[in-house]
Structure 1
Amino acid sequence: MSLPSADRPSALASAAPRKGWRAVIASLLAIAVVATAAGFVGFLSQLRGTEARPPRNADGIVVLTGGSSRVSDAMELLADGYGKRLLISGVHPASGASDISRSLSDNQSLLSCCVDLDRSAVNTRSNAAETRRWVRERGFKSLIVVTSNYHMPRAIVELSHAMPGITLIPYAVVGDKWREEPWWSNGGTLRLVLSEYVKYVAAELRVRLADAGFDVTREAGDAPPATPRQPATALAN
């Protein structure tokens, strides 16, 4: 049944706001999609496809564990004189010093004199907190950061936030899979990159909120570590 002519204007008037809200929501969704795509492209532009030696030396070197060949590459940088001392951050508590010593048997002298182990860090943020503690103890002003290429953007965000006065020099480790085939052609690598992008965005957002005075979480690294860092002499025993 058709509406009386007197009721038609009010029905049309009520429909107009609904159409307006739909247009606003559609516009916001479109903006969000474009921003996400642009952010992802920006993230990808930071990922190096080949390894390159640091452009300069630094006071220290930190390697964030979790990816293949990170530690061995960091040890090579230390052996080549790129830093005075190395921090291996995020060593699993179950990993014995002898295990690490065996895996790096060619660098026993460096392991004994110039390497520290951090067993407290459990994620990138706590890596940054423990690295800050180590840098302050040593009085370092510059640092070479060693981690996987896909992890480097988030690592730099966290480390820069934790140590704003320290010069950070990235050394991105490129894995075999990344070298052998495009990242988008392998399901596992694709999921890894997408997951890392989400974590990177979350880290950027948290850091920006913290800089604006809205940090809702406590810096765990300001408390004494649950397990103290082990000096390199422990590796040689």
Structure 2
Amino acid sequence: MNLRDDDSAPTTRARRPRGWLRATIVGGMAVLFVGSAVGFIAFLSQLRGVEIKPARNADGIVVFTGGSSRVSDAMELLAAGYGKRLLISGVHPTNAVSDISRSLPDNHALLGCCVDLDRSAVNTRSNAAETRRWARERGFNSLIVVTSNYHMPRAILELSHAMPDVTLIPFAVIGDRWRDEPWWTSGPTLRLLLSEYAKYVAAEVRVRLAVIGIEVMPEASDQPVQAPRRPATAQAN
């Protein structure tokens, strides 16, 4: 009996570490899942469900291309006098003012006098860099930021990091898909939100590391410009 007990002891001792490791992995995955779920809910809480006009005017207006009606909404704000000039950031390199004017026939005069096009930006991070350059050249200290509601948290994060001394006033554009049905009933919308949340978390980590002096390179690209000519603007975000 004693011999058999002694023979089984090493096996029992070998199983204990494996069981402990398995429990640790499962526990870690559970914590990660819960943390991600809580973070996703917090991210969703930042998204506006209706369009609200800016509470105040600003020196300039910047719109990031990539979503339906972003540019037209930004032009409406410019026409209403919410800003002195408008920067359209992320325009496809092959598109000209004439391409945009065809989609905005009522704003020809504004396009000629008060609109600047940025063709260099290919993602949200470079949108912020080009916006910083434009604002500094113009001497602007406040900007109204126009982009889709799901993209606004990341846009404000990147802009705040790029120009902490500039006041940012968000104007979130609500797309038709968001209006027509709840996001949790639409597979494409849910995938879009999950993808945007992942990008937001990655940007948050990179920005926090940069604050303590750790620069993460190379710059991550959301959607690099590599497609052929597009109708009016590049879908950079």
TM range (shorter): 0.7 to 0.9
TM-score with structure 1 length normalisation?
0.87
| Corresponding residue of 1:228 | none
| Corresponding residue of 2:73 | 73
- Alignment of structure 1 residues 9-28 onto 2, 5 Å: 9-28=9-28
CA-CA distance at 1:164 after TM superposition: 1.3
Contact 1:129 1:219 in 2 (8 A): no
Contact 2:97 2:111 in 1 (8 A): no
CA-CA distance at 1:201 after TM superposition: 1.2
Q: AA paired with 2:136?
A: R
CA-CA distance at 1:218 after TM superposition: 6.0
CA-CA distance at 1:109 after TM superposition: 2.0
Q: The residue matched to 2:184 in structure 1 has which SS?
A: helix
| Corresponding residue of 2:86 | 86
| Corresponding residue of 1:210 | 210
| Corresponding residue of 1:44 | 44
CA-CA distance at 1:3 after TM superposition: 7.1
- Alignment of structure 1 residues 86-165 onto 2, 5 Å: 86-165=86-165
Q: Deviations over 1:84-104 (max 9, x none)?
A: 111000011122221112222
Equivalent-residue separation in structure 1 for 2:5 and 2:121 (angstroms): 72
Q: Deviations over 1:17-38 (max 9, x none)?
A: 2222222111111110000000
Contact 1:58 1:83 in 2 (8 A): yes
Shift >3 Å, 4+ stretches: none
CA-CA distance at 1:14 after TM superposition: 2.3
Give the 3 Å change call, closer, same or farther, for CA 70–3 of structure 1 in structure 2: farther
Q: AA paired with 1:134?
A: W
Q: The residue matched to 2:144 in structure 1 has which SS?
A: strand
Q: AA paired with 1:27?
A: G
Q: AA paired with 1:17?
A: P
Give identity over the alignment, percent.
71
Unaligned runs of 5+ in 2: 221-237
Aligned length: 219
Q: The residue matched to 1:143 in structure 2 has which SS?
A: strand
CA-CA distance at 1:114 after TM superposition: 1.2
CA-CA distance at 1:180 after TM superposition: 1.0
Equivalent-residue separation in structure 2 for 1:23 and 1:202 (angstroms): 28
Q: The residue matched to 1:120 in structure 2 has which SS?
A: coil
CA-CA distance at 1:219 after TM superposition: 6.9
Q: The residue matched to 2:215 in structure 1 has which SS?
A: coil
Q: What is the root-mean-square deviation of aligned Cα atoms in Å?
A: 1.8
Contact 1:61 1:83 in 2 (8 A): yes
CA-CA distance at 1:4 after TM superposition: 2.4
